[in-house]
A and B are shown apart, each in its own frame.
Chain A
Amino acid sequence: MTTTVTPAPGALARFFDGDVWHSFKSSPMAITAAVIAAVCVFCAVFANWVAPHNPFDLASVNLSDARLPPAWVEGGSRSYLLGTDDQGRDILSAIMYGARISLFVGAASVLVSMVVGVALGLLSGFAGGKVDAVIMRICDVMLSFPSLLVALLIDGVGRAIFPNAHDTLAFGVLIVAISLTGWVQYARTVRGSTLVERNREYVQAARVIGVKPARIMFSHVLPNVMGPVLVLATIHVAAAILTEATLSFLGVGVPPTSPSLGTLIRIGNDFLFSGEWWITIFPGAMLILIALSVNLLGDWLRDALNPRLR
């Protein structure tokens, strides 16, 4: 059986004609959230071209411009719209570059935990028996601790194992730490749906004609359990970004040479008392904007994909 389904020609047209797109068009909340999220992602991904300054280019940073307030406050300069930090770096540009790092870590962690969680969930639901019991017990133990604590612990262990971790490794440890706390949700969701799907007629039919279990799992059951996974992944992106920001704020996240939003807030926190509120408030606002818009999108997607609400 090498013939594959070819959805290519009509797939896009079908999507725009479908229920999900229709529900999107009729929800002003979803459209607003999507536009905000899209602008944030665009600014973050194309920070090199969009940002007015390059905060990491030492040649263009001018110390005499340090601690300038936002443009609309007295003493502000129009070339630094949201002000500058203690080293004269443009806050707006730093936010764009920081958001890129936050989004990268968030997306990578979601991807890793999704792959791990979906695979283990499928295995658990499909194999049953001892495999299922072991995986589910691990899930129970993981769930009885707050994810932040687990992430902190894994990060701490990572630091203990690689005391002189340089940049790439530090990112790796961070992504692993956030992923290892996130996969449980996917595993439990997928396991639940798999338990239902594996007794369906199409699975039995596939068994009867002698399709191998692995193939049934991945090409027959998997597409049918992906709906809830997508919803989970959307909301998880926001959660992962917040976890990353928290870890970076605590000083155990991304390396200081590539500051994320959390690092920027941490740095700005030191200047709160000398009156330079903009150094910490604007990165914070950006963080909230991203998290809220992604969460709202997730809520909408959950309702749109729920057949009972149609």
Chain B
Amino acid sequence: MLAFILRRLAQAFVVMLSVAFIAFMLFQYVGDPVASMLGQDATTEQREALRSELGLDKPFPVQFARFVGNAVQGDFGLSLRQGRKVSALIAERLPATLELSMAAAVIALLVGIPLGVFAALKRGSFASQVAMTVSLLGVSLPTFLIGILLILLFSVTLKWLPSFGRGDTVALGAWTTGVLTLDGWKHLILPAITLSVFQLALILRLVRAEMLEVLRTDYIKFARARGLPNRSVYFGHALKNTLVPVITITGLQLGALIAFAIITETVFQWPGMGLLFIQAVQFADVPVMAAYLCLVALIFVIVNLVVDLLYFAVDPRLRIEKPAGGH
């Protein structure tokens, strides 16, 4: 197990290093920072001075090492568009995105898993067929259309919920949160639903397929033969064994949630990192793009690691040092 974790850590390190390299390469393509910092009428000496001050006269590997060193400390320089420190910009936007993604993940899991179990147990019933059809739509509709339809229905036509921004927020130190005010919750509902639809449909379909698979196995028949009540067969025996693939997909989807938040944040003008990133892409604001890229990659790598470790918690077979035979 230790060897496995070490190997995973090494892989994660390589991925982070290659992402950092891509981010570093981004900087090589956006014009000359010296020219943009000094303006048109600087002398050659001034340019050379600034160049050596910024370390731009050093060889390529030295510059890269310097970049990584700064990145580890969270220093990505100044945003080209807003002239502020990128780390401050991101820190400001991070809570909004995390709250949105968490809310969406909770909705997807709390609704998706029970509905999936239901659709598997009551296979062929009208209600479960409705659930399956709706989930098919959920997988094929693009996120931004779902958001627009929700706004049209709940904000424009019914005027129940706001469609714009985060509402009233409360600052807890550096973390501004919207979940302490009623207004904040109202603003959270539509974006969170929009973001969760795809994952919800995915989890529903996955849980249903896995449940159907597991319910056919011998140990379920045996549990029934022992006279266990349905509830304990379904939830104690069957659901537990469907969890490994569900954890994998959910874990990977957590990362996807943060990526898809870009779309949701654009539709709802939610002031999160995604909106920051999309503006950075539109204006070719490289420091912001590089920082977002590294941060998202870091979140992905951590999530993947945690998912791998969860396997050991959920599946006792993996804890045995040497797997017994091919399975």
The reply to whether the CB of A123 lies closer than 8 angstroms to some CB of chain B is no
CA distance A98 to B207 in the complex (A): 38
B192, chain A: closest CB distance, angstroms:
19
The reply to whether the CB of A277 lies closer than 8 angstroms to some CB of chain B is yes
Q: Which of A148, A277, A292 contacts B260 (CB 8 A)?
A: A148
CA distance A249 to B255 in the complex (A): 22
Interface residues of B in 104-122 (CB under 8 A from A): none
A150, chain B: closest CB distance, angstroms:
9
A302, chain B: closest CB distance, angstroms:
15
Q: Which of B18, B140, B152, B282 contacts A281 (CB 8 A)?
A: B152
Interface size for A (C-beta < 8 A) is: 37
A33, chain B: closest CB distance, angstroms:
12
Neighbouring B residues of A281 by C-beta, 8 Å: 148, 152
Given A141-B15, A152-B262, A250-B278: A277 in contact with B145 (beta carbons within 8 A): no
Is the CB–CB distance between B281 and A163 below 8 Å? no
Interface residues of A in 219-247 (CB under 8 A from B): 238, 242, 245-246
Name the residue among A160, A163, A291 with the largest chain B CB count within 10 angstroms. A160
Interface residues of A in 285-299 (CB under 8 A from B): 287-288, 291-292, 295
Neighbouring A residues of B304 by C-beta, 8 Å: 144
Is the CB–CB distance between B284 and A287 below 8 Å? no
A32, chain B: closest CB distance, angstroms:
15
Q: Which of A155, A160, A242, A273 contacts B142 (CB 8 A)?
A: A242
A276, chain B: closest CB distance, angstroms:
10
The reply to whether the CB of A269 lies closer than 8 angstroms to some CB of chain B is yes
Interface size for B (C-beta < 8 A) is: 40
Interface residues of A in 31-86 (CB under 8 A from B): none
Q: Which of B30, B140, B256 contacts A160 (CB 8 A)?
A: B30
Neighbouring A residues of B267 by C-beta, 8 Å: 269
Neighbouring B residues of A265 by C-beta, 8 Å: 144-145, 148
Neighbouring B residues of A161 by C-beta, 8 Å: 29
CA distance A163 to B29 in the complex (A): 10
Neighbouring B residues of A288 by C-beta, 8 Å: 140-141, 145
The reply to whether the CB of B151 lies closer than 8 angstroms to some CB of chain A is yes
Is the CB–CB distance between B262 and A272 below 8 Å? no
Is the CB–CB distance between A156 and B280 below 8 Å? yes
Is the CB–CB distance between A144 and B289 below 8 Å? no
Is the CB–CB distance between B286 and A160 below 8 Å? yes
Nearest A residue (CB) for B30: A160
Neighbouring A residues of B26 by C-beta, 8 Å: 157, 160
Is the CB–CB distance between B29 and A159 below 8 Å? no
Given contacts A246-B263, A250-B278, A292-B140, 7 further A-B contacts (CB under 8 A): A148-B259, A153-B22, A153-B293, A249-B263, A250-B281, A272-B152, A277-B152
Can you give 19 A-B contacts (C-beta < 8 A)? A141-B18, A144-B252, A145-B255, A146-B255, A149-B259, A149-B296, A152-B278, A156-B280, A160-B286, A246-B144, A249-B142, A252-B278, A265-B144, A269-B267, A277-B152, A277-B156, A281-B148, A287-B145, A288-B145
User: Considering the complex of A and B, which 5 residue pairs feature the smallest CB-CB distances, nearest first?
Assistant: A156-B281, A146-B259, A149-B259, A160-B284, A146-B256
